[in-house]
């Protein structure tokens, strides 16, 4: 059992709290039963696993059945676990995974694809909430263009409830994404305030990309020029924009409604 904060493995877990360190070591820290389980069920391979038996209890035995055999397992004391944990009241389970990186040309698309594109998303909590929505709606791919946040930031993992692992998720440039959408005959609908149609008046049944910008700056000019049609969610109050995860939820479930009604 590891009981010292000066243990090199423990020191490294603390270093991995930095995005630059996660990138250079090519590792994704994942804390908590639900998130680790969802990563494993999504065919992610655990590199190493740290656990505190006192905190984990029965959950530990469930997880050990799922975890890949070649994963290195380390028991740690409660004090050490509380030192490495990034959330309070943690369940004593912590794993490092090798990330599964997906390129645009490897994305698998069905006949009438539904794709969500996010440009320059900055807040990990927003990205996590979007991924929870896209998982629930069965969106075919999520493309993050010019990301201002690490896709596997611990707050993305936590706010997505582990749904970050279950989907085709790609990071790329807006330019590459536009080229790929056009090559695959996917119509582009940008959420924007100008030259926009009510979202209820557009046909979302063919292959569609729903493109969202940041709340602060909206979408860049290259997206507005590539757009087949700008769309808007009419608002009755004083607010002129919604949180990106709320906008995504409204749009993808409207696409599902149209597709279910006309299938």
Residues 135 and 238 in one domain: yes
- Average confidence (pLDDT) over 154-160: 95
Task: Report, as an integer, the average pLDDT of 165-171.
Answer: 96
The structure tokens listed for 175 are 């330019």
15 has a pLDDT exceeding 60: yes
Pairing verdict, β 46-51 and 93-97: antiparallel
- For residues 121 and 218, state if they share a domain: yes
CATH code, domain carrying 132: 3.40.1280.10
Shared domain check, 140 and 67: no
- 63, 150: one domain: no
Structure tokens at 58: 């029965």
Q: Strand 93-97 and strand 28-31: pairing?
A: antiparallel
User: Does the residue 3 lie in any domain?
Assistant: no
Locate the DSSP E strands across 32-182. 46-51, 72-75, 93-97, 114-119, 141-145, 169-172
> Is residue 72 domain-shared with residue 178, that is, in the same domain?
no
Last residue of one domain, picked from the residues 38, 73, 97: 97
Structural domain includes residue 209: yes
Q: How many CB atoms lie within 10 A of CB 101?
A: 12
**Burial, 139: exposed, middle or buried (Cβ in 10 Å; 0-12, 13-18, 19+)?**
buried
In a domain, 1, yes or no: no
CB 138 within 8 A of CB 126: no
> d(Cα 159, Cα 236) in Å, to the nearest integer?
29
- In the three-class reduction of DSSP (H, G, I as helix; E, B as strand; rest coil), residue 238 is classed as coil
Compute the CA torsion angle 78, 79, 83, 84 (nearest 10 deg).
Answer: -30
Residues 85 and 178 in one domain: no
Q: Looking at the structure, tell me whether residues 142 and 185 fall in a common domain.
A: yes
**Residues 226 and 111 placed together within one structural domain of the fold:** yes
Residue 15 and residue 133 in one domain: no
**pLDDT digits 0-9 by tens, 221-244:** 999 999 999 999 999 999 878 899
Domain end, chosen from 97, 112, 127, is at: 97
Our count of domains for the chain comes to 2
Q: How far is CA 43 from CA 71, 187, 224, in A?
A: 14, 31, 37
201-226 per-position pLDDT tens digit:
999 999 999 999 887 778 999 999 99
Dump pLDDT digits (tens) for 63-84. 989 999 999 999 999 999 999 9
- The CATH number assigned to the domain holding 66 equals 3.30.1330.30
pLDDT beyond 70 at 39: yes
> Which of 71, 97, 123 represents a domain boundary (last residue)?
97
141 lies in a domain?
A: yes
Determine if residue 243 is left, alpha or beta; phi over 0 gives left, psi from -120 to 50 gives alpha, anything else beta.
Answer: beta
Is residue 32 domain-shared with residue 147, that is, in the same domain?
Answer: no
My answer on whether 86 and 127 are in the same domain is: no
pLDDT of amino acid 193: 80
pLDDT score of 192: 86
Within a domain: residue 51?
yes
Q: Report the interhelical angle of 59-66 vs 33-41 (nearest 10°).
A: 20
Whether residue 255 lies inside any domain: the answer is yes
Domain that holds residue 34: 8-97
Q: What is the C-alpha separation between 74 and 218, in angstroms, rounded?
A: 46
Q: Flag whether 79 is in a domain.
A: yes
Are both 44 and 110 inside the same structural domain?
A: no
Within a domain: residue 2?
no
Percent of the chain residues topping a pLDDT of 90: 84
């Amino acid at each position: 059992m590891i009981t010292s904060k000066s243990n090199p493995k423990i020191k490294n877990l603390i270093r991995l709290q930095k995005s630059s360190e996660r990138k250079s070591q090519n590792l994704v820290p994942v804390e908590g039963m639900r998130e680790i389980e969802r990563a494993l069920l999504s065919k992610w391979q655990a590199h190493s696993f740290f656990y505190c038996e006192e905190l984990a209890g029965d959950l530990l035995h469930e997880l050990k059945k799922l975890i890949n055999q070649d994963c290195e397992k380390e028991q740690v004391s409660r004090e050490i676990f509380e030192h490495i944990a990034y959330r309070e009241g943690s369940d004593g389970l912590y794993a490092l995974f090798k990330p599964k990186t997906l390129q645009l040309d490897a994305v698998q698309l069905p006949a009438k694809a539904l794709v969500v594109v996010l440009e320059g998303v900055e807040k990990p909590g927003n990205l996590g909430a979007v991924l929870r929505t896209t998982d629930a709606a069965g969106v075919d791919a999520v493309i993050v263009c010019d990301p201002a946040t690490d896709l596997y930031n611990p707050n993305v993992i936590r706010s997505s409830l582990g749904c970050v692992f279950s989907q085709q998720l790609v990071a790329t440039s807006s330019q590459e994404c536009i080229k790929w959408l056009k090559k695959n005959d996917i119509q582009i609908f940008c959420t924007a305030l100008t030259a926009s149609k009510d979202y209820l008046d557009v046909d979302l049944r063919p292959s569609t990309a729903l493109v969202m910008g940041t709340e602060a700056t909206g979408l860049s000019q290259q997206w507005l020029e590539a757009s087949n049609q700008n769309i808007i969610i009419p608002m009755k109050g004083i607010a002129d924009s919604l949180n990106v995860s709320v906008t995504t939820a409204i749009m993808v479930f409207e696409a599902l409604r149209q597709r279910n009604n006309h299938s």
